[in-house]
Structure 1
Amino acid sequence: MNKMVLMFSRSDVLNKKIPNDLLGVYYFLNHQDNILYIGKSVDVRKRISQHLAKGRKRLVNTFHKLKVKKLHSELESLLFESQEIKKYRPIFNRRLRRYKSHISLLTSKDPRGYHFYKLADDVNEQLLISFFSKRDAKKFILNLTQKHNLCEKINGLDKSPKSCFQYHLRNCNGACVGLEDKTKYNLRFKESFENILLYPNDCKLVFVNSKTYVIIKNNKVCEFGVEPISKWVIKYPSRDEIRIINTFKNRLGERVKQIKL
């Protein structure tokens, strides 16, 4: 068997014989080697222990063995997992997707013409970033608001009835009370929006610390890997790949080098 693929019996899993610090994508298999569930982790042993402790009982009771595909970085694992789920469509991944809650970051415009960020409780196909909790999402909006001198009230972070608290501290230009020209405000909003999302076309992105790369053509990821040791071709393209990259980039803030192709 490929040295990058490890197999563990049900007994191995229950007796915690999975090695420490194992990064990659894992597969719960039944007696017929059909894939029940696909997941990924930077620490597979720890993640499997969580499945056993508080996972879905039917999955835990049904699996016969565990397969682990060793990979080299978190982003590589995220993209590889996404492709494998699309390829095999495991039954427990489909069921969990119905209940898994994500917080989506959307944009809108108020009646006065000021653009703002808002949150929704599901993943909208048109957006490129999502969060697992409202706390993380609001923290992200706050960082954008402060970095680009936007208004906390307009972005839904300040519930004051009139001007926001930052306006009294002279940190807000008064958009909340209509004092700032909306054109100037919306230009800064546009800058903040472009800071979140990648709109690459025909380029290679390299995440410097992990040496993970992705190649994007026509605004879709077509290849990814870790230089110089792995290379994967995207066979099931969708918006998911760009969303994964943007969420990863904004969560960890890893330096990204962009190379025009």
Structure 2
Amino acid sequence: MIRTVNLPGGTALPLIGFGTWELRSKTAYESVRAALDIGYRHIDTATLYKNESEVGRAVKDGGVDREQVFITTKLRPQDARHARRALESSLRLLDTGYVDLWLIHWPPGRDALVPAWEELLAARDAGLARNVGVSNYSPAQIDLLTEATGRRPAVNQIPWSPGQHDPALLDEHRRRGVVVEGYSGLKNTDLNDPALTEIAQRHGVTPAQVVLRWHLEHDIVILPRSSHRERIAANFDLEGFDLTAEEVAAIDTLTRTG
């Protein structure tokens, strides 16, 4: 059973997603096929990644009903002036009538913040995106969007790892009802840190699995990426062990940002 978190509109967002950044052509296709075969039901892509067609084909060929796969793509800020056209291009490449989540990849210039958000909301109202959100936004920027439109982002996708996390920032999102998706959780972590290797040894798992499980203990959505089937499987296999409160607290102290 895949753990999920409910988005404001009621959509169930799987806490474990498969990231596709830097996966291209045949590798992207085969990796997404492997992820779906292993059990992932949340695939994260973006216009910037240039792999939407391979992701779409893998979902189509994967034998899983489209309604069972949560697909996210992202709008480049420079495309915000013609956002609808950019989304329609993404939908053609993905070969689907809608995405489950459409994010703006990072904030555009201040004058474009609200207009870009209005474009995402219009796409949601038109049924092209079931949920809309942001990526790499600050709480103040989220407040600006909410105050201007009365509608807040469902999600903010931001860097999150034991070495780069901020409990106060997480609280700011929770208070606003915005789900946090963490990216680069493994890339920004020293997997040889003794705190992680000792916990991993205790549970008979890898340090990477410990880091990903730590995210889940904090209800952070994770988006691990790999092109190796065994690693794709290991990153998904996180339900066979639990971290104790003490272990979670020990990992929390690895932060460099305080």
Q: TM-score range by the shorter chain?
A: under 0.3
* TM-score between the two structures when normalised by the length of structure 1: 0.25
Report the structure, 1 or 2, having the larger helix content: 2
Structure scoring higher RCO (CA < 8 A, sep ≥ 6) equals 2
The structure having more radius of gyration, on CA atoms, is 1
Report the structure, 1 or 2, having the larger strand content: 1
